[in-house]
Structure 1
């Protein structure tokens, strides 16, 4: 599987109960769509899938999935830590020009206002606020809050974004 063709929508956690349900760490804004019964999900590692959702329910704040062919706690345990992927082409088009999917940002060159290269965006973290992880050319990483005041320009076609850092952000 080429990871550039898919995006992660979840990760299977521990089994729940004895009938094969699994907990899912949700990594999508549309869990009801992505994990609908009948949905087919690619997996990483690839040899564990594809998996077809047989059922879905919420238990408090935790998503529980029943996967076709998984009917015991032991079978569910073999899926622990499996990433769940969907093809990029299945993602809906974003209408807002200031909203981006994570996979669109990863790989962009981060530049300062004067055009100098800060590094490459290698990941997006969602830890209360969205943070761009920028790998610096001389080593190390820079965490950049992904807000308009600090990242005023995202040029997907040009392969870059502009960072207007507050004082101290670029200090290692």
Structure 2
């Protein structure tokens, strides 16, 4: 399994018991969604290694307490500290309406209600305080904040996102 075929689920943050249990901080608002996993991919030395789950429960409502098969001691759990967890993209819950996962809108055409066709989304920059659409407009990069107030409609069939950007924002990149 390659990372491109997976989504980031979270990270192992600490050991929980002397029996090898670990606590994972998940990158989700609904950790309970992942209580019935059979396995997870652990990023171990830059390889995704499948680990089968023996037992899983919520710990203090936002951490997942995991007991992996074949991890039965603190020493074995030490090897997994700070490791990232991944699941195949096929296991992501489907979103509807105007909600979307970042990876699914790559390649979508952005259309502004005033400007018209802005360009194609080449990536999402989520390293800033406000996530940004990185849009290619004939070789020019346009950055538009991913703000609910700007996004008017998402059309998965047409692979389009209709937005209303603030006045002058798009033109700023093209002048």
Q: TM-score, normalised by structure 1?
A: 0.69
**Matched positions, count:** 167
C-alpha distance in 1 between matches for 2:54 and 2:169:
47
- Check conservation: 1:112, 1:118, Cα contact below 8 A: no
Deviations 1:23-46 (A, max 9, x none): 21212354334242x611123356
Q: CA deviation at 1:165?
A: 2.0
- Is 1:78 the counterpart of 2:79? The answer is yes
- Is 1:42 the counterpart of 2:41? The answer is yes
Radius of gyration: which is bigger? 2
- Check conservation: 1:26, 1:63, Cα contact below 8 A: yes
C-alpha distance in 2 between matches for 1:44 and 1:111:
38
Q: CA deviation at 1:132?
A: 4.0
Q: Which runs of 5+ in 2 are unaligned?
A: none
C-alpha distance in 2 between matches for 1:127 and 1:66:
35
C-alpha distance in 2 between matches for 1:124 and 1:67:
34
Q: TM-score, normalised by structure 2?
A: 0.68
1:77–1:127 CA distance, 2 compared to 1 (3 A): farther
Query: Counterpart in 1 of 2:66?
Result: 65
- Check conservation: 1:152, 1:162, Cα contact below 8 A: yes
- Check conservation: 2:144, 2:165, Cα contact below 8 A: no
Q: CA deviation at 1:117?
A: 3.0
Q: CA deviation at 1:152?
A: 0.9
1:151–1:121 CA distance, 2 compared to 1 (3 A): farther
Query: Counterpart in 1 of 2:151?
Result: 151
Query: Counterpart in 2 of 1:89?
Result: 90
